[in-house]
């Protein structure tokens, strides 16, 4: 492949991806605020799926446009011509190529402004009207591309299928929310919730809605007056072969955003530090294990970013060495060890933390 052709490919993909980048400016802020308040169908895909799908589709669009671009030559006549009867390769005049790429550009423009209408203007109804026009433009692009390069047309098939699905989802969301979501504009200010997170205004009344944390009503409340926070915690872990020490967890608050580097091992002096995800929440977890008197003691430190601060919750977990037991206790011990999820326990504790 010539360097010139490589450059054209890069340009075609970059221009296509640019449509997604433009849309993302309106999408990123709206998803955790306005979009999160909408009624959506149960089959609505998770929000994280849309990004990878669109990046892939934009790349395929770019390759399709590049294939058509490469068919263009200096011929200005209205008709296509065969370069070789044996190979079947086709080159087209610049006029035909430009017309095809112009239609491609129209659908790319419609693609970009859909995000502006849906997420930026908070208007699912008008976005649905716009996505119908987008769908028709994609069909027209596939038709003209097929006359020039069949591979280019096939590359757009996943795109038209995804937009068809997106259009149906768009209509469903509009139908579920048509009595209250149209033309709602909220100011772009933010409020810090009691758990340290920030939320924007959303909903019909443009209210601040903090996430609701549901914990077991039997959990106790710990108050840390030094750091000015309180949190809920279980009095025991409801386990037979494991116990918590330094309980409830100790809390330390330091200035500065969360920073985490994966390093070390649990049995080393400094322990093992790694980034862990609990659902969609990130924790920097440090674990240091030592064996003593038939048990393993593991000191845990869970660090989480809270705006410009980092909150660190520490506790020690003692786990009996299952090999010290005979069956069936040994098997019960091993099964309990395998099933127990300390990350989930600490996540609920940390999420329950509120500022006094």
Domain count, the chain: 2
| Per-residue pLDDT at 190 | 65
Assigned domain for 200 exists? no
Q: What residues contact 165, with CB distance under 8 A and at least 6 apart? A: none
* 310, 249: one domain: yes
* 80, 162: one domain: yes
Q: Which string of b and e fits 264-280 if b means at least 16 CB within 10 Å?
A: beeeeeebbbeeeebee
Res. 188 pLDDT band, cuts 50 70 90? low
Mean pLDDT of the chain: 83
Res. 77 pLDDT band, cuts 50 70 90? very low
| Per-residue pLDDT at 81 | 44
- Answer whether 80's CB lies under 8 Å from 90's CB: yes
d(CA 229, CA 353): 7
d(CA 333, CA 164): 52
Assigned domain for 208 exists? no
Assigned domain for 185 exists? no
| Per-residue pLDDT at 54 | 92
CATH at 107: 1.20.1260.100
Assigned domain for 214 exists? no
Considering just the CA atoms, what is the radius of gyration of the chain in Å? 28
* 171, 270: one domain: no
| Per-residue pLDDT at 135 | 96
- Answer whether 108's CB lies under 8 Å from 100's CB: no
Assigned domain for 141 exists? yes
* 82, 133: one domain: yes
* 335, 254: one domain: yes
* 100, 37: one domain: yes
Q: Which of 149, 177, 205 is the last residue of a domain?
A: 177
| Per-residue pLDDT at 198 | 62
Res. 76 pLDDT band, cuts 50 70 90? very low
CATH at 266: 2.60.120
Helix 3-30 to helix 47-71 angle (10° resolution) is 150
Assigned domain for 183 exists? no
* 165, 224: one domain: no
Assigned domain for 182 exists? no
* 237, 167: one domain: no
Query: The domain containing residue 264 runs over which residues?
Result: 220-355
Q: What is the pLDDT of residues 57-66, one digit of tens each?
A: 999 999 999 9
Residue 244 has pLDDT above 80, yes or no: yes
Shortest CA distance to 33 belongs to which of 214, 213, 188?
A: 188
* 172, 224: one domain: no
| Per-residue pLDDT at 331 | 92
| Per-residue pLDDT at 205 | 64
Mean pLDDT of 67-87: 54
Q: Which of 3-7, 79-83, 174-178, 294-298 has the lowest mean pLDDT?
A: 79-83
* 12, 152: one domain: yes
* 38, 166: one domain: yes
* 249, 161: one domain: no
Q: What residues contact 211, with CB distance under 8 A and at least 6 apart? A: 193, 195, 197, 199
Assigned domain for 42 exists? yes
The residue behind tokens 């939320």 is 199
Q: Which of 177, 210, 243 is the last residue of a domain?
A: 177
Q: Please give the structure tokens belonging to residue 309.
A: 């601060």
Q: Which of 117, 151, 177 is the last residue of a domain?
A: 177
Instruction: Tell me the range of 107-116, 180-189, 214-223 where mean pLDDT is highest.
Output: 107-116
Mean pLDDT of 114-119: 92
């Amino acid at each position: 492949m010539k360097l010139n052709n490589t450059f054209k490919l890069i340009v075609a993909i970059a221009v296509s991806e640019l449509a997604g980048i433009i849309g993302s400016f309106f999408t990123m802020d709206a998803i955790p605020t306005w979009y999160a308040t909408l009624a959506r169908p149960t089959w609505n895909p998770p929000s994280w799926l849309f990004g990878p799908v669109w990046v892939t589709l934009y790349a395929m669009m770019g390759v399709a446009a590049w294939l058509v671009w490469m068919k263009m030559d200096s011929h200005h006549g209205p008709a296509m011509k065969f370069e070789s009867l044996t190979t079947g390769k086709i080159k087209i005049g610049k006029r035909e190529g430009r017309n095809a790429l112009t239609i491609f550009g129209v659908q790319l423009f419609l693609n970009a402004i859909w995000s502006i209408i849906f997420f930026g203007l908070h208007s699912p109804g008008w976005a649905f009207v716009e996505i119908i026009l987008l769908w028709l433009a994609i069909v027209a692009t596939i038709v003209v591309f097929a006359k020039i390069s069949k591979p280019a047309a096939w590359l757009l098939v996943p795109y038209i299928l995804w937009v068809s699905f997106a259009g149906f989802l768009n209509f469903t969301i509009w139908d579920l929310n048509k009595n209250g979501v149209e033309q709602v504009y909220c100011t772009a200010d933010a409020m810090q919730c009691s758990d340290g997170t920030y939320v924007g205004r959303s909903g019909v009344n443009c209210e601040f809605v903090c996430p609701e944390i549901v914990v077991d009503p039997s959990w106790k409340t710990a108050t840390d007056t030094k750091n000015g926070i309180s949190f809920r915690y279980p009095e025991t872990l409801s386990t037979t072969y494991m116990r918590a020490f330094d309980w409830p967890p100790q809390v330390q608050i330091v200035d500065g955003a969360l920073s985490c580097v994966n390093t070390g091992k649990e049995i080393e002096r400094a322990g093992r530090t790694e980034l862990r995800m609990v659902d969609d929440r990130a924790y920097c977890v440090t674990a240091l294990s030592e064996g003593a008197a038939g048990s393993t003691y593991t000191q845990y430190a869970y660090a989480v970013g809270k705006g410009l601060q980092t909150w660190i919750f520490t506790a020690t977990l003692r786990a009996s060495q299952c090999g010290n037991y005979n069956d069936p206790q040994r098997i019960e011990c091993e099964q309990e060890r395998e099933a127990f999820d300390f990350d989930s326990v600490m996540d609920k504790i940390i999420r329950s933390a509120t500022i006094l």
